[in-house]
Structure 1
Amino acid sequence: MSATGLRACLLLGSAREPRLATRVLTFVTSEMKRRGWECDIVDPLEVNLPVLQTPVFFYKNPDDVPPVLNDIAAKIKAADAFVIITCEYNNCLPPGLLNTIAHFSPFAYSKRTSSIICYSAGMYGGIRAAMQGRCLLGEINTVSIPNVFGMPKVQDTLTEDGKPLDDHLVSGAEKHLNELEWYTRALKVARDSDASL
């Protein structure tokens, strides 16, 4: 299956050092690009947003919106799908991810697919945060695909430069991305045929 013509916005969860997020992101983007996806990345460490006080849709004058928010908004608008790459802090979604998502209206994400790729240094693979993520993704009007791709003990299964050391990661990524592509293409057809959007 090829994802040529599809674009994803990858929303990274963790800004905490030392970062396992970087190796997971490298692996995921490599797998997606190999299949033909265009990938935009939103990393809370790089964008360094303040704690939410003024979301984009609260600005009365569009010229007052900070450039960093306009840059993220453009990535969100261009996306056919959203890929959440998250660990868990205290068994919850990381605050950097929540803060990034909340800067934009739920309608900004509407009628696109979303997926959750979670990981941890422990045996649960971030799945507790993923379950919270599924609720959040529904509330911001995305269609979260059924498959959640969990990566337990990721420090032992991915090298620092994002190379898999475990066949589970390769087969898990293939299954996850096959499903993401199916749902994304289906919703894209529906969006393209709806003159009201």
Structure 2
Amino acid sequence: MQTNSAHAPLNVAVVIGSNRHGRFGPVVADWILGHVRDREDLLPEVVDVAEIDLPTSFARTPEAARVLTDVTPRLARADAFVVLTPEYNHSFPAGLKNLIDWHYGEWRAKPVAMVSYGGLAGGLRATEHLRQVFAELHAVTVRDTVSFHNAGASFDDSGRLKGATGPDAAAKAMLDQLVWWGTALREARERRPYAA
């Protein structure tokens, strides 16, 4: 018997993609998590690459198995993802790529929204690279994104966003799209398992 989850909130994994010392990611994460938590159609769970010690080698060691036992179920139970990425050298961080590459089926036939931050480009080049990677994993990236240009100057010393009108509207549009895709794809997966 199939379950009807059309009206159940979507489980959304909010992935903080930077693990650098002194990173700005938690500030941006707190802001987007506020938007996610304000919605009745989304249930967030944070997945922070700084808290996941994934091996850099793809050997299936006992240590790798232990780490994957913690993070893999969190990604698997997500109906959708919000990925936060800075831009390093015109792309996204190695720690985020490592998390993505250790998993495959967990991303398939699920939507991914992206929030980027950086200097003048606002992380948009990192977002475009992520679109290519997620397409290869059979994930669906939502069209609208949120980007913070000169991100450090966009927030005050307490982490509150200055001039929030534009970013707040962009976050709403992005999350609305994420919910549409997340609901549609969840219903489709329940009717018929996705075959890659």
Shift of 1:64: 7.5
What is aligned with 1:102?
101
Shift of 1:158: 2.4
Please tell me whether the aligned partners of residues 145 and 171 of structure 2 are also in contact (alpha carbons under 8 angstroms).
Answer: no
What letter matches 1:5 in structure 2?
P
Calculate the aligned-residue CA RMSD, in Å.
2.1
Q: Is the Cα contact below 8 Å between 2:109 and 2:194 reproduced in 1?
A: no
Which residue is 1:164 aligned to? 161
How far apart are 1:186 and its partner, in Å? 1.1
TM-score, normalised on structure 1? 0.86
TM-score, normalised with respect to structure 2: 0.87
Where in structure 1 are there 5+ consecutive unaligned residues?
none
Q: Which one-letter code corresponds to 1:190 in the other structure?
A: A
The equivalent residue for 2:91 is 92
Instruction: Report the counterpart of residue 51 of structure 1 in structure 2.
Output: 56
Deviation at 1:70, TM superposition (A): 1.1
Instruction: Measure how far apart 1:46 and its partner are.
Output: 1.1
Name structure 2 gaps, 5 residues minimum: 1-6
Deviation at 1:117, TM superposition (A): 1.0
Deviation at 1:33, TM superposition (A): 0.9
Offset at residue 185 of structure 1 (A): 1.1
Match of 2:24 among 13, 20, 32: 20
- What is residue 111 of structure 2 aligned with on the other side? 113
Q: CA deviation at 1:163?
A: 2.4
Aligned length: 187
1:67 is aligned to 66
What is the percent sequence identity of the aligned residues? 25
Q: 1:172 Cα shift?
A: 1.2
**Which consecutive segments of 4 or more residues in structure 1 shift more than 3 A?**
159-162
Verify the 8 A CA contact 1:25 1:162 in the aligned structure 2. no
